[in-house]
Amino acid sequence: MATLRKIKGNYYARVRWSINHKQYERIYPLLAEDDGQADLRLGEVEEKEHLIKQEIEIAFWWLIENGERTHQVIYTLAEAVEEFLQHLSRYGRKQSTIEIRRQTFKNVFAVISPTTPAESFDNSCINKFIDHYQKILTPNGINMRLAHLKTFSNWLYDDKEIITKRIKMKKMKVKQKDPTYLTADDIHNIWALDWLDDHYKDVFRFYWETGVRLREPYNSYIKNGSWLINTENKSGKTKRVKLQPHHIPIVEEIQKRLEKGNATQETFGKYYSTKFKEVARAIGRDDLHFHNLRDTFAIIRYLQTRDIYEVCKELNHSSVTITEKYANFTSFEELEEDFPGDDFPVLVDRDFKKCRMVAPEGAKTSSPPMGSEYVIG
């Protein structure tokens, strides 16, 4: 709580806080003529105290150089951002989503002063941001942040009515490249690793057979043979995934290890992604990352169905435009050579109804024997 101090007839507001046992302090002259006026201005400081403690510079109206002493407070960009993030929270956005947006605005404040009046936020600010970060971030990284800024600017225009024009943002051009995936040989090579625990083999198999996101088992449960997941897309709705019988013990074992290790969503992700990276190096595929298991599922499903809308639904994408990359391969002939129907562990027969699971000869796995047939849910 900000405190009022009076030194030699002058009024000041003092804000103190600590981070990791280190003390911080900010003192603001109130330029008040009497106790009543000092109390009013102290109240304004208290309203902005949460921003001050984030080390955001606040432009109090009575301290603006050459400014008129009116009671119109300057609404800064930092204040607008904070209110916008609170707005997202009220409308049900996940905390992880909000923190990603907060990081975007930290990037912005490295280029544009947080004390800039919110009404001055325009295309020149966006251009400054792009000019600064195009040498630091990838085009995809910039485009993601531009999407965040577009949502923010629309809120300033539509909800707050602070800016008078919509801000037009042109995405940076991104060179399209084919998604990275595991071939049938890669799968066989993973199965042949004697030193790799069967649990990891089962887990990797589970992900490329279902196409779920890495962290989705963290917030999920099994009910009546179906796996219910709190999805990671923006809707935040529950997704139902029909599991095959051999999937259920794998999910249960994943969650058992989660509970035993008191894992957070972040540490859970690292637990398996780090092991997969080690496996990728062992089979000579340094370019692979855990998310490529999901890419592999998507590619196979498109080869099976040739229906991009069905694949979009199975991946739980918010838009088919996100899924289209799996249908725009440079060479489908090469792609199909990597997935021979009799060898690839999750490739269905060409009637797209049944799936024949084939393990390398002599491979060990704690899952039911591969070679059985099951209907894809």
- As annotated, the residues of the chain forming the CATH 1.10.150 domain(s) are 77-158
Structure token digits, residue 337: 């050579």
- pLDDT of res. 342: 46
- pLDDT at residue 151 greater than cutoff 90: yes
Domain 77-158 in this protein, CATH class: mainly alpha
Which residues lie below 8 Å from residue 127, measured CB to CB, with a gap of 6+?
A: none
Amino acid identity at 30: L
Which residues lie below 8 Å from residue 71, measured CB to CB, with a gap of 6+?
A: 61
- As annotated, the residues of the chain forming the CATH 1.10.443.10 domain(s) are 184-375
Using one digit for the tens of pLDDT, what is the confidence trace for 168-192? 888 888 777 788 888 888 988 998 9
Using one digit for the tens of pLDDT, what is the confidence trace for 216-266? 877 777 777 666 766 554 455 666 776 777 888 888 888 888 777 666 766
- DSSP letter at 180 equals P
Which residues lie below 8 Å from residue 250, measured CB to CB, with a gap of 6+?
A: 202, 203, 205, 206, 367
Helix/strand/coil percentages in the chain, nearest 5: 45, 15, 40
- pLDDT of res. 129: 92
Counting DSSP H helices and E strands in the chain, the numbers are 14, 8
Using one digit for the tens of pLDDT, what is the confidence trace for 294-336? 999 988 888 888 888 888 888 888 888 888 888 776 666 666 6
Containing 27, the helix (H) or strand (E) segment is strand 22-29
Q: For the domain bounded by 184-375, which CATH number is listed?
A: 1.10.443.10
55 or 354: which carries more pLDDT confidence?
55
In degrees, rounded to 5, the angle at the alpha carbon of residue 207 between the alpha carbons of residues 205 and 211 is: 130
| Dist. CA 96–CA 239, nearest whole Å | 19
| Dist. CA 199–CA 176, nearest whole Å | 35
| Dist. CA 81–CA 105, nearest whole Å | 8
- Angle at which helices 198-210 and 265-282 pack, to 10 degrees? 100
Using one digit for the tens of pLDDT, what is the confidence trace for 107-130? 999 998 888 888 888 888 999 999
Structure token digits, residue 106: 């930290």
Amino acid identity at 355: C
Which residues lie below 8 Å from residue 374, measured CB to CB, with a gap of 6+?
A: 244, 245, 354, 355, 357
User: What number of other Cβ atoms are within 10 A of residue 41's Cβ?
Assistant: 22
Nearest Cα residue to 52 out of 12, 95, 82, 90? 82
